[in-house]
Amino acid sequence: MAEAAGQLGFGQLRELTTAFIRFSGDIVLGGVIFAVGFWLANLAHAAIDRASGAGTRGLAPVARMGILGIVLAMGLRAMGVANEIVVLAFGLALGAVAVAVAVAVALSFGLGGREAAGQLAGDWLRRWRERASRGSD
């Protein structure tokens, strides 16, 4: 149809038709990515749910949501819809995870190592006092 419009001298109609066909292909590709991604997310959820024990029931939904988040970003990107928003949202989500992990490590080290840090500080204070008392003699 685009070529027919070009042959008839309708240049703008040809460009519009070409853009529509290109955008339709991107939408179909994004739809295929969504369909395959949702199928893989459900497959991973079922496999993790079967393999996990009674105490790890929350792992399968977390894996499904992670896969769906990546699939959503890939599908929207393939469609060409809001590329900047997808990149920004993905970067912010990754940054938030990194900050949460850093805070968790800092808290666990701080709370878990409180006694060891106290002993180390006590040893430093004892050595400092010994040196100070030797220096004043």
Q: Domain residue spans in the chain?
A: 1-81, 83-137
Over its C-alpha atoms, the chain yields an Rg (Å, rounded) of 30
pTM of the full structure: 0.58
Q: What are the two backbone dihedrals, phi and then psi, of residue 58, each rounded to the nearest 5 degrees?
A: -80, -10
Of 86 and 6, more confident: 86
| pLDDT tens-digit series, residues 115-135 | 887 888 889 899 999 888 887
Q: Residues 6 or more apart from 5 whose CB is under 8 A from it?
A: 11, 13, 14, 17
9 pLDDT exceeds 80? no
| pLDDT tens-digit series, residues 34-73 | 999 999 999 999 888 888 776 667 788 888 998 998 898 8
Q: Which two tokens stand for residue 85?
A: 């928003």
At 136 the pLDDT is 64
At 91 the pLDDT is 85
Q: Which two tokens stand for residue 117?
A: 């840090």
